[in-house]
Amino acid sequence: MSPLDTTAKAQSMSKTIVDQGLKKMQANNAKAMTARAEAIKALVKPKEVKPKIPKGGSCKLNRLAYIAHPKLGRKAKAKAQTKAQAAAATPALAPTPVSTPAAQAPKGAQAPTKAPV
């Protein structure tokens, strides 16, 4: 046997060892990925359908739908409550009577004269 034969044999042997190690590593990775996918499926809950606010219709219906929304309705209700509290806190002022100016005579009209005695 020549020294070249032994090196070639050693190289081919090391190549097979590397290939076997690669196959084992790929198999382990595949097992780990399937285990991970199963764990995620067990942890993640199915998504619920999110409620949507209907578009169109009338302004009143849109407002009611907004208030009925589970998340957005909180803000709307809180805003309405603060408005009501602010309105209740401020005293209602009595409206002052507005004085109307005296009626003006049409332009070019004569001033009234005194009646004869």
**pLDDT per position as a tens digit, 40-81:** 888 887 777 776 766 667 777 777 887 888 887 888 888 888
Give CA–CA dist 39/48, Å, rounded: 20
Local structure of 81: helix, strand or coil: helix
> pLDDT band for position 110 (50/70/90)?
confident
Contact 66, 73 (CB under 8 A): yes
Please name the amino acid found at residue 109. Answer: A
Q: What are phi and psi of 41, to 5 degrees?
A: -60, -35
The pTM (predicted TM-score) of the whole model is 0.28
Please name the amino acid found at residue 116. Answer: P
Which tokens hold the place of 21?
């190690």
Per-residue pLDDT tens for 2-46? Answer: 665 667 777 777 888 888 888 899 999 999 999 988 888 888 877
